[in-house]
């Protein structure tokens, strides 16, 4: 069946609208700590930190000298989030077999969920390599598209690098696997005679849920990195060498908060100038998500052949 512009205006159509081909899986957001409400200000959320310079000596014989402990402060600012407005005229809805206004609201909710998920995922992703950031490239067999697959050995090496960060809370180590890497691991698992018991795969759903200490989420959305390993902006034009990445984050070093989402609606009953009175609808809110400290994040990026 081919879809063409417009909607049928008589009653002899299927009662259910066709669904969108969109995945807005955002289950990983549930493990990100919410911002303490008492710390929220008009500017954002403010943090303090003491830099630990306390030494430890054995069999010291010299006099001690006291040193000051310096403080650091940080601010995560608000971001304004909007869906683009949708207009509906009374002319176009008067004979439709479904409530278009209600369906438009649902589409805005779906777009909000997708947009916020992508916003959070990009905030979790390292912009580029640096201290406290684990960034590795895959080393597996080359696919027809020129991408190297993720292997079990790659994941072992990735976790080893995370262990070197010496993160305090081992139960807050999370990895969001992109769709390519999900299937790479299943292929690697199926093609070996070794026991890959470290990879936990749900036999009912096929979802990968754990690798040793890493708790795993799956998502079809993924941040994209350039061939040089730099995080691309949302909506940036594709370029040769771009590759999707699986993202690691330490749950204790990230925070998120969304204020109440406002429904902005202008009914057609106050439109006195258009020949076909028009209503407008959109969603708007302020929110924030960011790294509390630039430490304990990572990207596992598909290498180019």
* pLDDT at site 13: 44
* pLDDT at site 98: 76
Compute the distance between CA of residue 36 and CA of residue 83 in angstroms, rounded to an integer. 26
Compute the distance between CA of residue 90 and CA of residue 229 in angstroms, rounded to an integer. 50
Nearest to 184 by CA among 248, 250, 117, 139: 139
Compute the distance between CA of residue 17 and CA of residue 31 in angstroms, rounded to an integer. 33
With H, G, I as helix, E, B as strand and everything else as coil, classify residue 121. helix
Asked whether 231 and 247 are in contact (CB, 8 A), the reply is no
Domain ranges of the chain: 22-305
* pLDDT at site 189: 72
Q: What pTM did the predictor assign?
A: 0.84
* pLDDT at site 178: 95
Nearest to 217 by CA among 192, 200, 232: 200
- Domain spanning 22-305, CATH class: alpha beta
> DSSP secondary structure string, 170-218?
GGGEEEEE-HHHHHHHHHHHHT-SS--TTEEE-TTT--EEEETTEEEEE
Q: What is the pLDDT along the chain (305 residues), one digit of tens a residue?
A: 445 565 545 544 444 544 555 566 788 999 999 988 888 899 999 888 888 888 888 879 999 999 998 988 888 999 999 999 999 888 888 777 778 888 888 899 899 999 999 999 999 999 988 899 999 999 999 999 999 999 999 999 999 999 999 999 999 999 999 999 999 988 887 655 555 667 887 777 778 888 888 999 999 899 999 999 999 988 889 999 999 999 999 999 999 999 888 889 888 889 999 999 999 999 999 999 999 999 999 999 999 98
* pLDDT at site 12: 43
Q: Which helix (DSSP H) or strand (DSSP E) does residue 87 occupy? A: strand 86-89
Asked whether 200 and 209 are in contact (CB, 8 A), the reply is yes
* pLDDT at site 290: 94
């Amino acid at each position: 069946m081919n879809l063409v512009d417009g909607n049928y205006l008589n009653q002899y159509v299927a009662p259910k609208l066709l669904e969108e081909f969109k995945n807005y899986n955002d289950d990983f957001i549930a493990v990100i700590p919410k911002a303490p409400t008492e710390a929220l200000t008009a500017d954002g959320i403010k943090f303090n930190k003491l830099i630990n310079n306390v030494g430890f000596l054995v069999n010291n014989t010299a006099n001690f000298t006291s040193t000051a402990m310096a403080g650091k402060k940080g601010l995560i600012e608000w971001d304004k989030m909007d869906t683009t407005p949708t207009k509906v005229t009374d002319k176009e809805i008067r004979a439709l077999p479904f409530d278009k206004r209600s369906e438009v609201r649902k589409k805005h909710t779906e777009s909000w969920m997708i947009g916020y998920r992508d916003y959070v995922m990009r905030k979790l992703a390292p912009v580029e390599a640096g201290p406290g950031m684990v960034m590795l490239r895959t080393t597996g067999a080359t696919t027809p598209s020129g991408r190297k697959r993720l292997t079990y050995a790659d994941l072992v090496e990735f976790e080893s690098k995370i262990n070197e960060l010496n993160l305090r809370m081992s139960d807050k180590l999370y990895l969001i696997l992109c769709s390519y890497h999900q299937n790479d691991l299943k292929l690697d698992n199926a093609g070996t005679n070794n026991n890959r018991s470290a990879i936990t795969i749900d036999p009912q759903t096929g979802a990968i849920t754990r690798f040793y200490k890493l708790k795993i989420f799956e998502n079809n959305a993924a941040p994209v990195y350039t061939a040089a390993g730099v995080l691309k902006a949302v909506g940036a034009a594709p370029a040769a060498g771009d590759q999707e990445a699986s993202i690691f984050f330490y749950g204790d070093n990230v925070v998120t908060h969304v204020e109440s989402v406002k429904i902005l609606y202008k009914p057609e009953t106050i439109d006195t100038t258009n020949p076909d009175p028009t209503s407008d609808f959109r969603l708007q809110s302020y929110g924030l998500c960011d790294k509390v400290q630039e430490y304990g994040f990572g990207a596992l990026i598909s290498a180019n052949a």
